[in-house]
């Protein structure tokens, strides 16, 4: 879909909600991101001792009973608990009065890269111990990734378009971009959109460790996630959920909503190269950024800030840097580039949504959060990564990159609202 075909429409963001390793509400999350708060520590959700990576960025002090009754909380898998909390937060933040809205014009598009690994692991253990007759009837519905969208839709009686994106670590950004297109096509006025994941489980950690993708800096967890730093050795697994309320600008203005930002660019491409490794030339990532800029009707020099995918893996950080230089040329040296994963780890299907929220808050406040743990410059990663301290600067356009296993590349561009 080209920008020309959608030129009559505009999509804005009016509400935000987040559950993260550095805060379970928007104020705490944003304050922590600006301060460079570190969410890493030894694993407590599981026994990490059997694994090569025994550290994580876990969501702490999260009480699902604050968002639902205790019986419901016990049944739901952790990623669904995050989806409920973040969605309820975002709806409240948008001051969206659902009782007065046409709920057939409000949709939900919340993605998850992996879904309910916790309930799968729990019920598989029960099957092995007690037999198949003891497996919970809630296993499948509370495991499948699309239930985040389905459950939030049921919870709020939202009857518009309802879908789920699953594109690994690109999921959250993909969901936001696809939701914007649903609105631009006229199929909905409002979409509750974002990404959630909770994969700090025995089988999840075992799989990522087997793939040799995770950091093994177990003796110093606070220094483990170090995007773009020369001594990076793999990603730090995280968890959480981020949800944004997207609206057509006409609908937002009609209800006098506070507009936080506008989505002006979206593109997705494929590397078509390898199931886990990015294209070493950065071709797919570069095309995603270039297409998003063209979609937005901008030039590369209009972009002020890039919230990078920045996983802290040797390949990803170098190749993302290569791709940024391909797209931005000399302007690359004037860009502020930072990775939120340095603080919250890699939250998998949630990262594109949580980091999009960071873009929106950065535009609102004129502050770029830092890349923490940046101590040893890498000649292959030679951009301005906003090392270790937040930076106040004028911002008009922010770009969000998300790249996922399977060669998925997604870029979003956000604009500070006029006035």
Question: Domain of 112: which CATH number?
Answer: 3.40.47.10
Residue 247 and residue 351 in one domain: no
Considering the domain boundaries, does residue 6 fall inside one? no
Considering the domain boundaries, does residue 7 fall inside one? no
Question: What is the value of pTM for the model shown?
Answer: 0.97
Considering the domain boundaries, does residue 4 fall inside one? no
Considering the domain boundaries, does residue 339 fall inside one? yes
Considering the candidates 346, 351, 359, 408, report the single residue annotated as catalytic.
346
Residue 234 and residue 305 in one domain: no
Residue 317 and residue 193 in one domain: no
- Indicate the residue among 231, 254, 277 that finishes a domain: 254
Considering the domain boundaries, does residue 89 fall inside one? yes
Residue 308 and residue 224 in one domain: no
Q: How many structural domains are present in the chain?
A: 2
Residue 293 and residue 245 in one domain: no
- Indicate the residue among 202, 237, 254 that finishes a domain: 254
Considering the domain boundaries, does residue 308 fall inside one? yes
Residue 121 and residue 194 in one domain: yes
pLDDT, position 8: 55
Burial class of residue 373, CB neighbours in 10 A (0-12, 13-18, 19+): buried
pLDDT, position 152: 98
Per-residue pLDDT of the chain (419 residues; tens, 9 = 90+): 444 444 458 999 999 999 999 999 999 999 999 999 999 999 999 999 999 999 999 999 999 999 999 999 999 999 999 999 999 999 999 999 999 999 999 999 999 999 999 999 999 999 999 999 999 999 999 999 999 999 999 999 999 999 999 999 999 999 999 999 999 999 999 999 999 999 999 999 999 999 999 999 999 999 999 999 999 999 999 999 999 999 999 999 999 999 999 999 999 999 999 998 999 999 999 999 999 999 999 999 999 999 999 999 999 999 999 999 999 999 999 999 999 999 999 999 999 999 999 999 999 999 999 999 999 999 999 999 999 999 999 999 999 999 999 999 999 999 999 86
Residue 40 and residue 158 in one domain: yes
Residue 235 and residue 190 in one domain: yes
Considering the domain boundaries, does residue 5 fall inside one? no
Considering the candidates 156, 164, 209, 309, report the single residue annotated as catalytic.
309
- Indicate the residue among 208, 234, 254 that finishes a domain: 254
Q: Is 181 a catalytic residue?
A: no
Considering the candidates 156, 164, 169, 381, report the single residue annotated as catalytic.
169
Specify whether the backbone of 151 is left (phi greater than 0), alpha (psi in -120 to 50) or beta.
alpha
Residue 248 and residue 327 in one domain: no
Residue 243 and residue 375 in one domain: no
276: containing domain? 263-415
Residue 152 and residue 274 in one domain: no
Q: Is 95 a catalytic residue?
A: no
Q: Is 309 a catalytic residue?
A: yes
Considering the domain boundaries, does residue 3 fall inside one? no
Residue 294 and residue 197 in one domain: no
What CA–CA distance (Å, rounded) separates 162 from 111?
A: 11
pLDDT, position 418: 83
């Amino acid at each position: 879909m080209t920008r020309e075909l959608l030129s009559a429409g505009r999509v804005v963001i009016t509400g935000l909600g987040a559950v993260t390793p550095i805060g379970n509400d928007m104020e705490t999350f944003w304050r922590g991101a600006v301060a460079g708060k570190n969410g890493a520590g030894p694993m407590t959700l599981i026994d990490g001792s059997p694994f090569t990576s025994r550290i994580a960025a876990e969501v702490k002090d999260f009480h699902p009973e604050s968002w639902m009754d205790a019986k419901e909380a016990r049944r739901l898998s952790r990623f669904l608990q995050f989806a409920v909390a973040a969605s309820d937060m975002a709806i409240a933040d948008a001051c969206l009065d659902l009782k007065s809205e046409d709920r057939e014009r409000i949709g939900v598009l919340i993605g998850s890269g992996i879904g309910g690994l916790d309930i799968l692991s729990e019920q598989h253990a029960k099957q092995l111990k007690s037999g198949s007759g003891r497996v919970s009837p809630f296993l499948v519905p509370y495991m499948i990734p699309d239930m985040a969208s389905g459950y939030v839709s049921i919870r709020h009686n939202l009857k518009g378009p309802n879908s789920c994106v699953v594109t690994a670590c690109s999921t959250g950004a993909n969901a936001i971009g696809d939701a914007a297109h649903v609105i631009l096509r006229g199929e909905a006025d409002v979409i509750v959109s974002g990404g959630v994941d909770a994969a700090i489980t025995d089988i999840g950690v075992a799989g990522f460790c087997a793939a040799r993708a995770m950091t093994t800096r177990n003796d110093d967890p606070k220094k483990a996630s170090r995007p773009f730093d020369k001594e990076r050795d793999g990603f730090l697994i995280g968890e959480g959920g981020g949800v944004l309320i997207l609206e057509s600008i006409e609908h937002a203005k009609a209800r006098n909503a506070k507009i936080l930002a506008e989505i002006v660019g979206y593109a997705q491409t494929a590397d078509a190269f390898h199931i886990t490794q990015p294209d070493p030339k950065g071709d797919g990532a570069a095309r995603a950024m270039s297409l998003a800029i063209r979609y937005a009707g901008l030039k590369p020099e209009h972009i002020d800030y890039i919230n990078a995918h920045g996983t802290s893996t040797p390949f990803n950080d170098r190749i993302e840097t290569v791709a940024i230089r391909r797209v931005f040329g000399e302007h690359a040296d004037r860009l502020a580039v930072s990775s939120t994963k340095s603080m919250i780890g890699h939250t998998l299907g949630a990262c594109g949504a949580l980091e999009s929220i960071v873009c929106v808050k950065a535009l609102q406040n004129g502050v770029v959060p830092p890349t923490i743990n940046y101590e040893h410059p890498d000649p292959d990663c030679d951009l301005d990564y906003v090392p270790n301290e937040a930076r106040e600067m004028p911002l008009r356009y922010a770009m969000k990159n998300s790249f996922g296993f399977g060669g998925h590349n997604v870029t979003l561009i956000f604009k500070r609202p006029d006035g």
